[in-house]
């Protein structure tokens, strides 16, 4: 009994002790406090969380909070969107916590022409690209890093092959023949190719879009300016970073080819249409080879046979760091990409060295060295394998290639045959040396000497073996050797002065003198009748012919100045002027003058908004000015003679004769005058930030070719005429939905719309007094530069339609119907209409989520209202004429049993007005990027002696929604196919 009582007492004591310990462990206290902003005003909605836990609350409208915490809690983490998170010690039961504004976009330093500026102090239209997000695309094509990243910047796929390029247009085409490519500036140096900088070396990208920001580059800035800044060393211990990835690319498309059975049926339908609705026997419409293929089901999908998945490998290692006086950044990059088509590929190695050296308190210098070597292998065959009949035998019974896969009687060449029997490679070596010397006379007055030398040597070798189809004329191999040497030399004298006035008046002045010389030398020879095929174009040949050499040179002398004035940190003024003399223009008009002015009002700094809790940033800007375009060949203002031998006295005598181009001694600059009105805003503690801009740019004195009368002795001349207008809107928005210690979620969007119109040409009038268009050149007054002139497709003639009384009385059921625009009962030139090719608008939506070490980035790119003429739906050679002779893109064509209203009935002759049915909507929506990444936590990094480590998986071009039938809605099917890719990568920091 006693033992039982004692045991109960022990249990009771144990339970009591456990209860006490539990209460002790869960003992809590209440902490109260107020969270204030940088001005001492309460911050409603601020997050207050016990560090390392999920226990937290939010402040009320008065910025106050009350939170129960354990006795062991030592720290609180207070955060608010747009403010720096703050860790606070729990030292009392009531805390007053002040947060500091985060170094946000307003304090971001933006690179502008010949200097930098805080974003809040910008006057002109400058768009910054998020390089971290842009660089997730596995490519050497820096142009593609800009796609969907900045309002007003349109990137169109130019060449999807490895080492290819894209076309960049900023705020529409401002020129017809003078070129529309933007000026590329890398570390203050003009580059002729944006892809000459490795994506891994890029630190910042800015786009100058209006006259005020562009005018500092005057002569070449009419098409916009892209400023790229490469990475530089920073003071501190040296860091080593590695980035490597592998990508698998595969075909993406939006069409099917006719299968062999469908192709055979297409031919049967074509023959039936012209045979009184009766199908002809297969023996009458197919040859014996084709009948055998049909019988044995010996079919070929040429697309699957020619196109293969391809791999990309990239490795980049960089070292950066330094002391107060010496800072160094150096990188080595290696990139290799195989093409979807065999024998195509691109390989490049890059070495960069950026050094900042301070020699004394007044004297310093920078050295930027960029060296590249690359090899591009081009596919050595036409891409038009789409149109080859699927009733084919690409290999013989022993597995060897058949040169003539459609039988010996056919002249169609096996594309794999020509790929095997040819080579086309371009090897390039590039060296850039940029030396900048700076002397600081006074803290507010400096002189800078900027020098640059570029040397690019490119060698191309093309070889067609003795077995290649082009050698069927008996030539034992044919080769072409070509070299291109490009040299660029620049010297700039730069003076910067910032007068010391007071805090209310800030002024900085810039004066620059520049000399730039660019020289190109091109040589080529043709070699024929080689001894053998083993050495390709490097072998000995019996015949050397077509030796050519072309030299061109252009020089530019410039003087420019800029004054920027800041009044009360509210009213910002910029005046810019630049004078350029270009050697490419005529003697009478070498010089061009390009002034610009801009004003910005920081409205949020006014007293009536300074304490606003809703509007944190509000800036209105207006700019106006001129920029120029020198985008013509160096000799187009001159009279040029050509070698023209003649017979005199029975002997051939060397001579020279004028070419077909009449010289123009008064040829001068194209000048673009642009107005830009913009507003930048930040709302709700910068949760919502963005900008809206309207622009209008008029280009006068267009550099155009004019056709001359034959009696002049010349065919054409280049002169200044006409005017083109671009106008539109750019919108950029960003929403920081969540931003605290553990979770960040933001959504961004850009939207751009441009309208382009030719306002006038040479002023010549027709008999009715209306201005004449340049019809042969496709230029029409009142229409955009990029246009399609064609008949308007109106469906397909159906049973029961009144064809006899229409404007097409000889048409038959199943034929294409076009609109009689002028209503005269006939279809003629007056019924041609003009359709704009450029989109109504384009833009992107992106989302970025970070949760602790996890990251997700998604980017949706949208083009709406674009139009293209698809020549794979209109041309015979592309298999579009529905005759069953060539294969092609599968379409819903008309048959009596299935009467389509989209494409005509197959016939043995090509359909009339077929090109009108091939004008198609090229709008699309594409998931351009989806990237998932994981950053290792600091605890794990310390164990493996790394400062950072990230692994990621990225999908590129994962899906495209479009009605346009091609490999890409930006190109027709005959171009090198676009691809989708899956990338696995790793980033390490030592």
3-state secondary structure 366-408: EEEEEEEEEEEECCCCCCHHHHCCCCCCCECCCCCECCCCCCC
**What would the pLDDT profile of 805-833 be if each residue is shown by its tens digit?**
999 999 999 999 999 999 999 999 999 99
Question: Out of 403-412, 501-510, 779-788, which region has the weakest mean confidence (pLDDT)?
Answer: 403-412
Residue (of 546, 540, 524) closest to 477 by Cα position: 540
* Window from 88-102, 241-255, 266-280, 793-807 with minimum mean pLDDT: 88-102
Residue 14 clears pLDDT 70, i.e. is over it: no
Tens of pLDDT, residues 161-178: 899 888 999 999 998 887
Report pLDDT digits (tens) over 903-946: 999 999 999 999 999 999 999 999 999 999 999 988 888 888 88
On whether the CB atoms of residues 306 and 416 are closer than 8 A, the answer is yes
> Could you give the angle at which helices 288-296 and 260-273 cross, rounded to 10 degrees?
130
* Mean pLDDT lowest among 94-103, 207-216, 705-714: 705-714
**How many CB atoms are closer than 10 A to CB 654?**
8
| Contact assessment for residue 253 and residue 869, using Cβ atoms and an 8 Å cutoff | no
| In the predicted structure, residue 687 carries a pLDDT above the cut 50 | yes
Closest of 40, 98, 127 to residue 676, by C-alpha = 127
Which is higher by pLDDT, 712 or 353? Answer: 353
Expressed in angstroms, the distance from the first to the final Cα of the chain is: 72
Give CA–CA dist 781/939, Å, rounded: 67
In a 3-state reduction of DSSP, which class is residue 680? strand
- Rounded to a whole number of angstroms, the CA Rg of the chain reads 34
Report helix, strand or coil for 88: strand
| Residue 685, pLDDT score | 84
CA distances from 524 to 38, 536, 771 (A): 68, 16, 45
pLDDT at residue 103 above 70?
no
- Coil, strand, or helix at residue 864? strand
pLDDT at residue number 218: 80
Q: What is the mean pLDDT of residues 64-91?
A: 83
Whole-number pLDDT of residue 185: 93
At a CB cut-off of 8 Å and minimum separation 6, what does 490 contact? 189, 190, 450, 451, 452, 453, 514, 515, 516, 517
Query: Do 559 and 579 contact (CB within 8 A), yes or no?
Result: yes
Span 517-528, average pLDDT: 93
Q: Look at residue 804 in the predicted model and tell me its pLDDT.
A: 94
Q: Which residue has the tokens 């030539």?
A: 475
Query: What pLDDT is stored for residue 11 in this prediction?
Result: 41
Is residue 267 within 8 A of residue 888, CB to CB? The reply is no
Best CA proximity match to 202, nearest among 128, 152, 116, 150: 128
Q: Which whole number is the average pLDDT over 954-975?
A: 93
pLDDT band (50, 70, 90) for residue 21:
very low
Q: What is the pLDDT of residue 471?
A: 63
The pTM (predicted TM-score) of the whole model is: 0.86
How far, in Å, CA of 549 to CA of 566, rounded?
Answer: 54
Question: d(Cα 753, Cα 842) in Å, to the nearest integer?
Answer: 7
Question: Which residue, 561, 553, 611, 603, is CA-closest to 582?
Answer: 553
CA distance 820 to 794: 10
Q: According to the model, what pLDDT value does residue 768 have?
A: 84
pLDDT of residue 27: 58
Inform me whether the pLDDT recorded for 84 exceeds 80: no
Q: What is the pLDDT of residues 290-347, one digit of tens each?
A: 999 999 998 999 999 999 999 999 999 999 999 989 999 999 999 999 999 988 999 9
- Residue 447 and residue 437 in contact, taking contact as beta carbons nearer than 8 Å: no
Burial 841-862 (b: 16+ CB within 10 A, else e): bbbbbbbbbbeeeebebbbbbb
What pLDDT score does 69 carry? 87
Which tokens in the block code for residue 857? 């980035």
Residue 382: pLDDT band (50, 70, 90) is low
Quick one: pLDDT band at residue 2, thresholds 50, 70, 90?
Answer: very low
| Strand ranges in 791-908 using DSSP code E only, listed in sequence order | 793-796, 816-818, 833-836, 841-851, 854-864, 867-869
Q: Is the pLDDT of residue 26 over 80?
A: no
* Residue 110 to residue 133: CA distance in whole angstroms: 17
For the segment 504-531, the average pLDDT, to the nearest whole number, is 93
**pLDDT given at position 640:** 66
| pLDDT at residue 6, as a whole number | 47
CB 466 within 8 A of CB 430: no
DSSP 502: B
Element (H, E) at 956: strand 948-962
635-663, pLDDT tens digit by residue? 766 666 666 777 777 777 776 666 677 88
Q: Do residues 871 and 972 lie in contact, with contact meaning Cβ atoms separated by under 8 Å?
A: yes
The full 3-state SS of 559-612, as one line of letters, equals EEEEEEEEECCCEEEEEEEEEEEECCCCHHHCEEEEEEEEEEEEHHHCHHHHCC
**What band does 381 get if pLDDT is binned at 50, 70 and 90?**
low
Closest CA to 414 of 426, 425, 406: 406
Instruction: Quick: pLDDT tens for 189-203.
Output: 999 899 999 999 999
Give the residue carrying structure tokens 């029975």.
650
Distance CA 850, CA 950 (A): 13
- Name the nearest CA neighbour of 621 among 575, 572, 674: 572
% of the chain exceeding 70 in pLDDT: 94
443 pLDDT above the threshold of 90: no
| Percent of the chain clearing pLDDT 90 (strictly above) | 59
Angle at 43 (CA atoms; ends 38, 44), nearest 5 degrees: 170
Supply the mean pLDDT for the chain: 88
Taking residues 701-711, report their average pLDDT.
80
Range in 710-724, 863-877, 931-945 with the lowest mean pLDDT: 710-724
């Amino acid at each position: 009994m006693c033992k039982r009582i004692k045991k109960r007492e022990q249990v009771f004591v144990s339970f009591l002790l456990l209860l006490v310990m539990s209460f002790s462990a869960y003992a809590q206290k209440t902490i109260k406090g107020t969270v204030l902003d940088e001005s001492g005003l309460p911050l409603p909605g601020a997050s207050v969380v016990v560090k390392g836990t999920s226990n937290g609350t939010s402040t009320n409208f008065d910025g106050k909070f009350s939170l129960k915490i354990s006795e062991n809690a030592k720290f609180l983490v207070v955060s608010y969107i747009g403010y720096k998170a703050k860790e606070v010690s729990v030292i009392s039961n009531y805390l007053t916590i002040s947060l500091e504004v985060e170094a946000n976009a307003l304090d971001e330093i933006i690179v502008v022409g010949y200097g930098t500026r805080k974003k809040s102090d910008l006057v002109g239209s400058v768009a910054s690209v998020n390089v971290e997000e842009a660089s997730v695309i596995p490519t050497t094509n820096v142009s593609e890093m800009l796609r969907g990243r900045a309002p007003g910047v349109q990137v169109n796929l130019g060449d999807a092959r490895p080492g290819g390029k894209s076309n960049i247009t900023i705020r529409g085409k401002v020129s017809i023949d003078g070129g529309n490519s933007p000026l590329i500036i890398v570390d203050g140096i003009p580059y002729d190719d944006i892809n000459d900088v490795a994506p891994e070396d890029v630190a910042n990208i800015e786009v100058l879009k209006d006259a005020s920001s562009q005018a500092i580059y005057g002569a070449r800035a009419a098409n916009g300016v892209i400023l790229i800044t490469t990475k530089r060393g920073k003071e501190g211990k040296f860091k080593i970073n590695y980035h490597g990835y592998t990508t698998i690319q595969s075909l993406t498309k939006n069409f099917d080819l006719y299968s062999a059975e469908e192709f055979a049926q297409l031919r049967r339908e074509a023959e039936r249409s012209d045979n009184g609705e009766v199908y002809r026997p297969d023996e009458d419409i197919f040859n014996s080879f084709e009948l055998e293929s049909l019988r044995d089901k010996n079919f070929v999908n040429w697309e699957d046979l020619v196109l293969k998945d391809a791999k990309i490998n990239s490795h980049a290692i960089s070292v950066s760091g330094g002391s107060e006086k010496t800072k160094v950044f150096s990188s080595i990059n290696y990139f290799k990409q195989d093409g979807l088509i065999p024998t195509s590929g691109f390989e490049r190695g890059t070495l960069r060295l950026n050094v900042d050296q301070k020699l004394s308190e007044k004297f310093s210098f920078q050295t930027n060295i960029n060296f590249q070597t690359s090899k591009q292998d081009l596919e050595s065959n036409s891409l038009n394998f789409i149109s080859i009949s699927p009733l084919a035998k690409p290999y013989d019974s022993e597995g060897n290639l058949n040169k003539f896969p459609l039988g010996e009687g056919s002249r169609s060449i096996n594309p794999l045959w020509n790929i095997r029997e040819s080579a086309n490679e371009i090897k390039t070596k590039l060296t850039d040396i940029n030396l900048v010397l700076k002397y600081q006379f006074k803290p507010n007055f400096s002189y800078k000497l900027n020098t640059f030398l570029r040397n690019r040597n490119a060698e191309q070798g093309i070889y067609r073996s003795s077995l290649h189809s082009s050698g069927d004329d008996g030539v034992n191999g044919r080769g072409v050797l070509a070299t291109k040497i490009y040299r660029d030399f620049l010297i700039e004298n730069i003076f910067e002065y910032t007068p010391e006035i007071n805090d209310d008046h800030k002024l900085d002045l810039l004066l620059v003198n520049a000399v730039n010389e660019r020289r190109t030398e091109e040589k080529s020879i043709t070699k024929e009748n080689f001894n053998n095929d083993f050495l390709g174009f490097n072998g000995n040949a019996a015949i050397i012919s077509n030796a050519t050499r072309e030299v061109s040179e252009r020089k530019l002398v410039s003087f420019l100045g800029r004054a920027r004035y800041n009044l009360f940190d509210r009213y910002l003024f910029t005046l810019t002027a630049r004078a350029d003399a270009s050697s490419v223009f005529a003697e009478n008009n070498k010089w061009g003058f390009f002034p610009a002015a801009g004003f910005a009002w920081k409205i949020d700094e006014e007293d009536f908004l300074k304490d606003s809790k809703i509007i944190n940033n509000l800036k209105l800007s207006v700019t106006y000015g001129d920029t120029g375009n020198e985008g013509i060949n160096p000799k187009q203002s001159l009279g040029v003679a050509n070698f023209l031998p003649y017979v005199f006295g029975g002997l051939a005598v060397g001579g020279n004769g004028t070419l077909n181009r009449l010289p123009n001694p008064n040829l001068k600059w194209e000048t673009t005058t642009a107005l830009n009105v913009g507003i930048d805003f930040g709302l709700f503690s910068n949760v919502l930030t963005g900008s809206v801009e309207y622009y209008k740019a008029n280009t006068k004195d267009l550099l155009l070719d004019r056709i001359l009368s034959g009696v002049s002795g010349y065919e054409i001349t280049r002169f200044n005429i006409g005017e083109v207008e671009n106008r539109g809107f750019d919108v950029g928005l960003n929403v920081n939905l969540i931003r605290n210690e553990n979770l960040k979620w933001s959504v961004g969007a850009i939207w751009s719309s441009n309208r382009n119109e030719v306002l006038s040409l040479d002023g010549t009038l027709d008999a009715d007094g209306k201005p004449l268009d340049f019809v042969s050149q496709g230029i029409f007054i009142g229409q955009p530069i990029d246009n399609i002139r064609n008949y308007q497709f109106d469906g397909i003639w159906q049973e029961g339609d009144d064809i006899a009384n229409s404007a097409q009385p000889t048409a038959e059921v199943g034929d294409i119907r076009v609109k009689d625009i002028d209503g005269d009962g006939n279809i003629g030139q007056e019924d041609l209409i003009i359709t704009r090719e450029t989109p109504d608008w384009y833009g992107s939506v992106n989302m970025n989520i970070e949760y602790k070490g996890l990251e997700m980035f998604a980017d949706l790119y949208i083009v709406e209202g674009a139009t293209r003429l698809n020549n794979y739906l209109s041309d015979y050679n592309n298999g579009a004429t529905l005759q069953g002779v060539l294969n092609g893109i599968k379409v819903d064509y008309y048959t009596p049993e299935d009467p389509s209203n989209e494409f005509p009935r197959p016939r043995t002759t090509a359909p009339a007005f077929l090109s009108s049915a091939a004008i198609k909507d090229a709008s699309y929506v594409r998931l351009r990027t989806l990237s998932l990444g994981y950053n290792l936590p600091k605890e794990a990094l310390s164990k493996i002696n790394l400062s950072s480590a990230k692994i990621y998986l990225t999908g590129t071009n994962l899906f495209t929604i479009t009605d346009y039938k091609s490999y890409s809605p930006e190109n027709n099917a005959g171009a090198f196919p676009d691809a989708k890719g899956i990338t696995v990568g790793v980033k390490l920091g030592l």
